[in-house]
Amino acid sequence: MSDRQSETKTNSSPKSLHASRFTSHQAALVIFAKAPTPGQVKTRLCPPLTPDEAATLHGSFVLDTLERTKLAVTALKVPFDRYLACSPSSTHVFFKIMEERQGVKVIEQVGDDLGARMRHAFETIFARGYRHVLIIGTDVPTVPLDHFKQALIRLEQCDLVLGPAHDGGYYLIGLKQPCPRLFLDVPWSTDQVLNLTLDKAATVGLKTALIEPWRDVDTLDDLLALIDANMADSKKPKNERTFSTRTAGVLETLAKRIRSRA
């Protein structure tokens, strides 16, 4: 973590979420996801992956995120309602299946870029009466469940919470109220995203906290790091593993294919 990030992070010890004022109808988590359509997802991994392989990987990540956030609710008692923000449309058969099987509510992604889509999602969910809203993508399939709890705890004490990504962006953002200026004139998918967001937050007077950084999966280096993490995870007892059996299998297959194409 950079010095800038260390200064922004709150130092107080987080209190137990059970002592929090949150209930399951005051906080919401919005999961941003694209349908796993070949040629439309994980394109920065192609090559060495084929569009079909990239789509399979992405679909597994979406399922991981849905399953893990459900586990955060059931096992850790993290008190949020879950929404799935869908692209290109919530009517896509993939999202209809997710809505039925995973118990999430679906909304549309609306906007010309990621910032506009996040701004619209925050406005939509706050308009439904929630007091605290988190947004996360599906590129962090191994993010610890406790990070969701910590994000809500930090959001009790601050106006904005961010989960820094290793590439200079963020994998999670949470707010207490809409703040459109955070999403304007940001060069998305660059290493400037986090610092520019912190600058904007300071300009409008938001008190900001950071939770622990995590690596998302955008590039081949990210994928190779995830493959290595999966190999290490596979050596643990089954009940201690982080990776789903599904994603572990996908990563093992991709590792073999990447080696064969080198």
Whole-angstrom Cα distance, residue 149 to residue 95? 26
Q: For residue 12, what is the domain's CATH number? A: 3.90.550.10
Structure confidence at residue 1 as a pLDDT band (50, 70, 90): very low
- Is 220 a member of any domain? no
- Is 67 a member of any domain? yes
Would you list the DSSP string of 116-147?
A: HHHHHHHHHHHTTT-SEEEEE-SS-TT--THH
CA atoms within 13 A on the CB side of 151: 32
Give, for 194, the enclosing helix (H) or strand (E): helix 193-203
- Is 69 a member of any domain? yes
- Is 147 a member of any domain? yes
**Model's pTM, two decimal places?**
0.90
- Is 254 a member of any domain? no
Confidence (pLDDT) at 146: 94
- Is 123 a member of any domain? yes
Structure confidence at residue 262 as a pLDDT band (50, 70, 90): confident
Structure confidence at residue 255 as a pLDDT band (50, 70, 90): very high
Nearest residue to 29 (alpha-carbon basis) of 64, 79, 88: 79
CA atoms within 13 A on the CB side of 233: 19
Q: The domain containing residue 68 runs over which residues?
A: 3-215
Confidence (pLDDT) at 253: 98
Nearest residue to 173 (alpha-carbon basis) of 210, 115, 134: 134
Could you report the per-residue pLDDT of 150-179, keeping only the tens digit for each?
Answer: 999 999 999 999 999 999 999 999 999 999
- Is 13 a member of any domain? yes
Question: Over pLDDT 70: what percentage of the chain?
Answer: 90
- Total of domains in the chain: 1
Whole-angstrom Cα distance, residue 184 to residue 139? 23
- Is 106 a member of any domain? yes
Sequence-separated (6 or more) residues with CB below 8 Å from residue 261: 47, 48
